[in-house]
Amino acid sequence: MKEKQRGKASVIFQHPPFIIAAASVVGKKEGEGPLGQYFDQIEADSMLGKKTWEEAESELQTRAATLAIEKSGLKKEEIRYYFGGDLLAQLIATTFGVMNLEFPMFGIYGACSTMGEAMGLGSMVVEGGFADHVIVTASSHFASAEKQFRFPLEYGNQRPYSATWTVTGCGSVILSAGHGKNPLAKIAGVTTGKIVDMAFKDSMNMGAAMAMAALDTILTNFRDLAVDETYYDKIVTGDLGQIGRRLLLDYLVKAGYDIESRYMDCGIEIFRDETQDTHAGGSGCGCSASVLCAYLLPKIREGVWKRVLFVPTGALLSTVSYNEGKSVPGIAHAVILETCDGEQEG
């Protein structure tokens, strides 16, 4: 079955799984950003009616997953596995968010690249014949992330311009072996990232920490598939922000690829720094996941972009390792999304 394997780290599917539904739920600030009109739900209460930030993030997952299932037209019982993750220690936002849904469950951790990692595994599980439908979800919450990784919000600490703002949001997609009535996209293949460590030690500049991982995954994808940047209508990273963006583009030029005209970063798109005080951009698992569901997939369905390389990026930061003087390594996972042709009708 080697024909599915390409090069060192890529897979091209013989029977591409379809994304038959997607849902996004975000917070107030994300709703006020440039993509506000595209999200399914904008929640004005940052606590989502719960008692803690962590419970609020769990509620994001419950809502996004429930809405994605509803949109798919499937019964919950028809969906075989839940692939989910978040940024918090021991994935508690996911645990308590998915618990009442009672799915057989795979917990995934890839920092902010989680949506890419989980979609990669989920699509292999579907294409391998192990499930007809799976649900893939990733979330983040500004306040639970600040608490986990930085300072209590009450400190009102200042953030350097290189810092990103963790998105309060969640994206959830249903991957299926069949295309259903009106699929959003098909997953043509995936490129799995490796950990890239640049001995980078500034936890307030995650974009730089992740840029080299994005570079590595994108170059691996080009090499494995024997293509260049023109193969894609759009190349979209997760949350590099302004600084990571510049680094990635510059290093790609050095490697012989000028992707700038077709490049986009979910973290840069989701906020308007001039008025929203978000500095380098948005970040968090929920950033690329919610922008995928709200903005990228509809554009792919409409054929505005026919082939997109979606590359969620993760900074493998932990307060424990960081305080012990360790670096912040990066990882990025790429998913090849294509417009469905002639498969819209069921």
Which residues make beta-bridge pairs with 296? none
Distance CA 271, CA 124 (A): 33
Distance of CA 126 to the CA centre of its chain: 19
Distance CA 274, CA 49 (A): 30
Tokens standing for 325?
């003087």
Residue closer to a copy of itself by CB (options 31, 85) is 85
Within residues 56-75, the interface with a copy of itself by CB under 8 A covers none
Q: Is residue 8 within the footprint of a copy of itself (CB under 8 A)?
A: yes
Q: Is residue 192 within the footprint of a copy of itself (CB under 8 A)?
A: yes
Query: Torsions phi, psi of 16, nearest 5?
Result: -55, 130
Residue of 11, 175, 210, 297 that binds a copy of itself (CB under 8 A): 11
* Residue 243: strand, helix, or coil: helix
Residue closer to a copy of itself by CB (options 105, 219) is 105
**Diameter over CA atoms, the chain:** 56
Residue of 20, 48, 177, 335 that binds a copy of itself (CB under 8 A): 177
Residue of 54, 59, 239, 265 that binds a copy of itself (CB under 8 A): 54
**Residue 135 neighbours by CB under 8 Å, 6+ apart:** 65, 68, 69, 79, 81, 82, 83, 84, 103, 172, 173, 174, 175
Q: Give least dist CB 110 to a copy of itself, A.
A: 5
Which residues make beta-bridge pairs with 173? 22, 136
Which amino acid does the sequence have at 26?
V
Q: Which of 337, 287, 346, 341 minimizes the C-alpha distance to 312?
A: 287
Q: Give least dist CB 286 to a copy of itself, A.
A: 16
Site string for a copy of itself, 73-112 (x = CB under 8 A): -------xx---x-xxxxxx--xx-xx--xxxxxxxxxx-
* Residue 82: strand, helix, or coil: strand
Of the candidate spans 26-34, 128-136, 264-272, 296-304, the one that interacts with a copy of itself by CB under 8 A turns out to be: 128-136
Site string for a copy of itself, 24-43 (x = CB under 8 A): --------------------
* Residue 124: strand, helix, or coil: helix
Residue closer to a copy of itself by CB (options 214, 249) is 214
Q: Is residue 129 within the footprint of a copy of itself (CB under 8 A)?
A: yes
Crossing angle between the packed helical segments 241-254 and 206-225, to the nearest 10 degrees: 40
Residue closer to a copy of itself by CB (options 32, 132) is 132
Point out which residues bind a copy of itself (CB under 8 A).
1-5, 8-9, 11, 51-52, 54-55, 80-81, 85, 87-92, 95-96, 98-99, 102-111, 117, 120-121, 124-125, 127-132, 147-148, 177, 192-195, 197, 316-321, 324, 326, 329, 331
